[in-house]
Amino acid sequence: MLNLQDLSYQEIQNLVKEQGFPKFRADQLMDMIVRAKDWSECTNLPKAMVEKLSKEYFATSVKVVEEFKGKDGAKKYLYALRDGNVIEGVYMPHNYGDTLCVSTQVGCRMGCSFCASGIGGLVRNLTAGEILGQVLVANRLNGGTPEKRAVTNVVLMGSGEPLDNYDNVIKFLALVSSEKGINISPRNISLSTSGLADKVKMLADTGIPVTLTISLHAPTDEKRSRLMAVNRKFNISTLIDSAKYYFEKTRRRYIFEYALVEGENSDEESANELAKLLKGLPCHVNLINLNYVKEKGLKGVKNDLVSRFTEVLEKNGISVTTRRSMGNDIEGACGQLRRKYLESENYLKKKDEE
């Protein structure tokens, strides 16, 4: 079975034409897709068309099987895919617009020492439609429509490395920003990478003006390699060169994410090294106090250390903010909810029955 949400408007038009249906049915089909409706809800489509297409295409690609609400208004979704795999995402309301964090892979192969997403490795890539499906269903669940979206911003910071699933992510960006789709501007989309410098340059060449966010997490190769295995292939110098290239092509300021890890990268020496490294670059630093993941054992730092680290950067002229932490009470860190679900009695019982 194919996924209808994988198709662009042009591809929907071609499908309708090939199947012998009137041209105007393409707009009705696209409206169904954007509203995250299943075949049974499409009352404006002829029965013959639904019966024919539903034999070949899923109308929706993801389904929310669990939802957790945080005290701060955040909502964490556990999505089931058609093949039985599960992924997760977080809906974060803000006064400037509501943001959805989406996953791009089932699992991850980057092997970062602080992240729950990579526990168990990479299972598979998500298709463009499966990434889009997360946005569409969250928009619907929060009362949004194509005309008045509940999801106004998207961050590709969930499970997986977006640039390790490059082709599907590029198509997703086209689908989610399509005027015939949910029409979220690329400027309201942030893409986070662990540092695949070659793919950063490929992304720059597309001219898609997303906000590039790079997981730096250390100011020296020695420190970064301990935290992130990807640094052994793409070191900091190579990574910064790719960020400069991205700026030259898009004129968009890039962001370095920096998770403060106790005993690893959070001391004053590291702050000064980071300031020296980034001096004069058109960048912003987003400090993160690490979410604790029991399987990894690494811890965040006390708030006074976050403040001190921030002061060092500011004194050296580095633009910096501390990320507002949302969803901590619902295991907001990437991969935590999926791990918990996979280890649950109900899931294991279900797998045994299969």
- Report CA-CA distances (Å) from 323 to 8, 73, 265, 326: 34, 16, 17, 9
| 110 vs 75: CA distance, rounded Å | 26
DSSP state of 160: S
Strand 99-101 with 320-322, pairing: unpaired
Are 11 and 180 in contact by the 8 Å Cβ rule? The answer is no
End-to-end Cα, the chain, rounded Å = 20
Q: Could you confirm whether 334 is annotated as catalytic?
A: yes
Interatomic CA distance for residues 285 and 200, integer angstroms: 18
The active-site residue, picked from 42, 88, 115, 283, is: 88
Q: Reduced to 3 states, what is the DSSP secondary structure of residue 286?
A: strand
Number of Cα atoms under 13 Å in the Cβ half of residue 250: 25
Q: Which helix (H) or strand (E) holds 107?
A: strand 105-107
| 90, 35 contact by CB (below 8 A) | no
Tokens coding 74: 């955040």
The two beta strands, 122-125 and 153-156, are unpaired
Q: How far apart are CA 188 and CA 203, in angstroms?
A: 16
Catalytic, out of 66, 264, 334, 354: 334
319 C-beta neighbours (distance < 10 Å), count: 15
Task: Please confirm, yes or no, whether 42 is among the known catalytic residues.
Answer: no
**Residue 153 forms beta bridges with which residues?**
99
Q: Which amino acid is at 205?
A: D
Catalytic residue positions?
Answer: 88, 334
